[in-house]
Amino acid sequence: MNVKGTPVVSNCRPEGLYQTPDVNVPYCTVYDEDGREQMGADHPRRIIGYFTSWRAGDDPQASYLVSDIPWEQLTHINYAFVSIGPDGKVNIGDVNDPTNAAVNKEWPGVEVDPALGFKGHFGALATYKKKHDVKTLISIGGWAETGGHFGPDGDRVADGVSTP
């Protein structure tokens, strides 16, 4: 334990973070000796925002695109939401659909680095992330994905959801 009563973490790896066998990750470049993320002098705390997947610019009155995010005020942004498909992998819909906002759509005034090889929200988030040094994450589940999980056979299993 350190002076604050927090367990001291060896190798700067946060407690509970999975260690892949035979992979040497330089955790101390991101985490301090107690396993807490190093934030830097300009951001003494995390400021986390959410960007919602349904903000595709289709409704001009509700339009809110990646370029509208106050990037300079954030340390992290979560993309909300993706789901887990029946194969157990992250599901963002049909990646070949040109209207798929996650990877294919384009919007005037929203910058996407063409070297990425994909567009949409993910392309814009990756571009702005690099430009503003903000960490990006994905949120799994959400309102449209509540009410269960996928079982080993790929069928949805309802957890704690009451049905009429």
What average pLDDT does this structure show over 133-138?
A: 92
- pLDDT by residue (tens digit) across 35-51? 888 877 777 788 999 99
Cβ-proximal residues to 154 (8 Å cutoff; 6+ apart), any chain = 86, 87
Whole-angstrom Cα distance, residue 76 to residue 120? Answer: 19
> Per-residue pLDDT for 161 more than 50?
no
Domain spans in the chain, listed from the N-terminal domain onward? 1-38, 40-155
State the pTM of this model: 0.68
Whole-angstrom Cα distance, residue 13 to residue 143? Answer: 32
Per CATH, the homologous superfamily of domain 40-155 is: Glycosidases (3.20.20.80)
- pLDDT by residue (tens digit) across 50-84? 998 888 888 887 789 999 999 999 999 999 888 87
- Strand ranges (DSSP E) for 1-144? 48-52, 76-84, 90-91, 135-140
Task: Provide the token pair at 35.
Answer: 């396993």
